[in-house]
Amino acid sequence: MLDIKLVRNDPEMVKENIRKKFQDEKLVLVDEVVEKDKEYRAAKTRCDELRAKRNTMSKQIGGLMAKGQKEDAEKVKQEVKAIGEELEQLEVRESQLEGEIRERMLVIPNIIDPSVPIGKDDSENVEIEKFGEPFVPDFEVPYHVDIMEKLDGIDLDSARKTSGNGFYYLKGDIARLHSSILSYARDFMIDRGFTYYIPPFMIRSDVVTGVMSFAEMEGMMYKIEGEDLYLIGTSEHSMIGKFIDTILPESALPQTLTSYSPCFRKEVGAHGIEERGVYRIHQFEKQEMIVVCKPEESMQWYDKLWQNSVDFFRSLDIPVRTLECCSGDLADLKVKSCDVEAWSPRQKKYFEVGSCSNLGDAQARRLGIRIKGENGGKYFAHTLNNTVVAPPRMLIAFLENNLNEDGSVRIPKPLRMYMGGKEVIG
């Protein structure tokens, strides 16, 4: 959510940002906010004047009564009553306007960083850099589910019976490999100075609307019927929510956190759920990294976060590339974002395995996350998040890049201690 002062003082800049995101239908919101803000401030000023006048006149009543001037006191009482009635009506209108302004402000997109490429959708995202040499073996690489089924490591049919499409049973060495990747990711981030967390897997609606846009919420979140609780789509939701309505001293920053959680997603939209596969599913597990920092440090942390993901995948000999998200592909709260994509020898192309985002002060402004400076002044923090690893999607890249011709799978050295010393599964 933007600072209302920015919309008030430079509405054309806010509109230009909306145009860059190809959301022209939202241009009218800027004008509506400006007009409603004028009315709100006028109502607030009038309320303050009436309260001051009422207080002054209320004091007069006591003085008049003490002097025996009951008739004059009664007249003043009537004036005070009229002021109270006007004030009550204005306070209702003030509250209505405040809600209407916030409703629109929550939909107006955040100001994107000047470095973000302008484009309509993900087809116009821009490759930044490749890490590692993409490799295609001499033998044919099967579909990832076929690899797992040959290793007796997945049961999709039983999952369809219990839960429907978009769910799976992992078993045996594939299930162990899945857990090993998460354990290695946890220790990888701890070694880089991040504090490990296991957060709540459900959050309240005020946290949901604080960490994401309404469009994202509708397409992602599962609501717990009869309760003000939602299943998280990523641990970033509850980890950023942890700081709701807090004031952090500058000395406590940056907050560098890494968290494990299961993630639950509707996956509503054009992509839908795979009937046979684990790339796009309703339930998965993920290791995340989150940073809360001073505004002037957020871009430095943005670069550190995506580099952590690259280093993690390269430590497992998986080629990756980074892809800059264009303006039209940025979620409304994001200032800047890039995807980390892993190489698929089967498809002979890269596919997304993680996303790094700088959200500026958008989440902090919604959730009331502030920093107290050395001079006592308070300002909003910046928040960032990035995927360390999200199996089973990462399993696809892992299995394809470590597959042997006989169908067995190599275990890179960093994972062996988590796999009981195994060097190969097959």
Residues that are catalytic: 265, 280, 352, 355, 393
* CA nearest to 58, candidates 78, 44, 43: 78
In this structure, the chain runs to a length of 426
C-alpha 425/C-alpha 151 separation (Å) is 8
Q: Which amino acid is at 132?
A: G
Place of tokens 């890039």: 338
* 3 state SS for the chain: CCCHHHHHHCHHHHHHHHHHCCCHHHHHHHHHHHHHHHHHHHHHHHHHHHHHHHHHHHHHHHHHHHCCCHHHHHHHHHHHHHHHHHHHHHHHHHHHHHHHHHHHHCCCCCCCCCCCCCCCCHHHCEEEEEECCCCCCCCCCCCHHHHHHHCCCEEHHHHHHHCCCCCCEECHHHHHHHHHHHHHHHHHHHHCCCEEECCCCEECHHHHHHHCCHHHHHHHCEECCCCCCEECCCHHHHHHHCCCCCEEEHHHCCEEEEEEEEEECCCCCCCCCCCCCCCCCCEEEEEEEEEEECHHHHHHHHHHHHHHHHHHHHHCCCCEEEEECCHHHCCCCCCEEEEEEEEECCCCEEEEEEEEEECCCHHHHHHCCEEECCCCCEEECEEEEEEEECCCHHHHHHHHHCECCCCCEECCHHHHHHHCCCCEEC
Q: Write down the residue that tokens 């979620």 correspond to.
A: 331
